[in-house]
Structure 1
């Protein structure tokens, strides 16, 4: 990874290719990545990502057969994710990034770390290949960190790629708990199978709005402004199918070949 740092130490620009010639168990750069999914809402053994570095470069996110559910009291969903910031209040409080439902309490307190979190303007490009498994989704999101204000919770969905809809990418802006935003999400038809090769998914945002591109072609634009710190998450999810073990062979995997981030705030 090559990166330039600001005066406060946070990464401003990065070009992450996840090394070359990596092997299973290879480590991520801790100056940029947290290899847990929203760890404050869970415990470390449940939030920790399963992954390895691909021999030719890139990060392989996995769902393993023995992987525990992220929050078993909410169901059997499993996830392997990397993210570029952390924030929470103390254990038992309701303060933390991405409050996905009402009544959440912090399980594991985490420090406020803004490793890469543009506030007001930036761009991210993610080269990735989705999982072909119909129970999985590969996603790249930018979400409000919420460290300054719980209303700063909006989301830029760079791409959601579902294993049971491999000719479609879902992208756009989600308001979540930000009263100044409205949901503006589109399902964009792809001229390819998202699991057959690596493709480039990008979002660029500034005071004029948010623009989305796939393989360099603009596919959607939302004229909304998000001017608070956003952190990047790239996640592989497995969704439960009733009470049975999800079908398919393990590990279930997706490839993240490269990520370029530019903080223009």
Structure 2
């Protein structure tokens, strides 16, 4: 339960373990995998579309010729950054974020890369969500599953649909999803936050032995007594769900990731 207007805890005073404002001309390969769960599909379908804009950060794109993530999931296109990846061999069911029980088998074996996978910590993410039809911007922490398929829980920091944004407030989904982790219970909420999410704003999460805390612009919006206690990967995603737009000039659809700061380890 949250208290209205409760202040979100300040970040640790030490320097962050990771900090990216995306001001470099190229994406950091030591931190980001620019593919959406590539092991469940094929490279041309998982690969992110994006551009480095300099001072404005990274612009995630959905382009008109972008393929559906999987043919079976059409219509669904996505551009994603994630801080690691893991899969078993082709044909197996082992891999990061096997988020549903039907039909996910490894199609592209992906060597394990744990670029940043803390089991607890504090993260601040500054974004501008998309106003384009059919789009959703999301940030998730998902169990890496490299140590066990039971390590599959998720902290949904935010899911923001374009249709849920107006100039004065935005309707957002956030919370904890159990997926295949039977030690967790799914605990998701929809909340109104008093921001225009199409403009730069900051989301924060703390997770660890005391549970999970999610905040927006320095105010707590969701508290849960649960928290996964195994390596978690950060995923930043722009989705387009539904048929492609036919109006001329609609594409690319886009959202911005302005900065990410993260501290691993106990911070509560």
Structure 1 partner of 2:245 = 246
CA–CA separation in structure 1 for the residues paired with 2:227 and 2:54? 40
Equivalences for 1:149-228 in 2 at 5 Å? 149-166=148-165, 167-195=170-198, 197-228=199-230
Is the contact between residue 154 and residue 174 of structure 1 (CA under 8 Å) also seen in structure 2?
yes
- Aligned to 2:39, the other structure's residue is in SS state helix
CA–CA separation in structure 2 for the residues paired with 1:246 and 1:135? 9
Is the contact between residue 134 and residue 162 of structure 1 (CA under 8 Å) also seen in structure 2?
no
1:33 and 2:32 correspond? yes
Tell me how many residue pairs correspond in the alignment.
244
Is the contact between residue 37 and residue 48 of structure 1 (CA under 8 Å) also seen in structure 2?
yes
Structure 1 partner of 2:73 = 74
- Alpha-carbon displacement from aligned partner over 1:28-58 (angstroms, at most 9, x marks no partner): 1111100000000111111000000113241
Q: Once superposed, what is the RMSD of the aligned Cα atoms?
A: 1.3
TM-score, scaled to structure 2 = 0.88
Is the contact between residue 57 and residue 259 of structure 2 (CA under 8 Å) also seen in structure 1?
yes
Structure 1 partner of 2:237 = 235
In structure 1, list runs of 5 or more residues that go unmatched. Answer: 1-11, 21-25
TM-score, scaled to structure 1 = 0.89
Is the contact between residue 87 and residue 145 of structure 1 (CA under 8 Å) also seen in structure 2?
yes
Structure 1 partner of 2:6 = none
Structure 2 partner of 1:108 = 108
Q: Which runs of 4+ in 1 moved over 3 A?
A: none
1:17 and 2:17 correspond? no
1:118 and 2:115 correspond? no
CA–CA separation in structure 2 for the residues paired with 1:58 and 1:92? 37
Structure 1 partner of 2:260 = 259
- Aligned to 1:164, the other structure's residue is in SS state helix
CA–CA separation in structure 2 for the residues paired with 1:60 and 1:149? 34
- Alpha-carbon displacement from aligned partner over 1:91-119 (angstroms, at most 9, x marks no partner): 11111111122231101001111110002
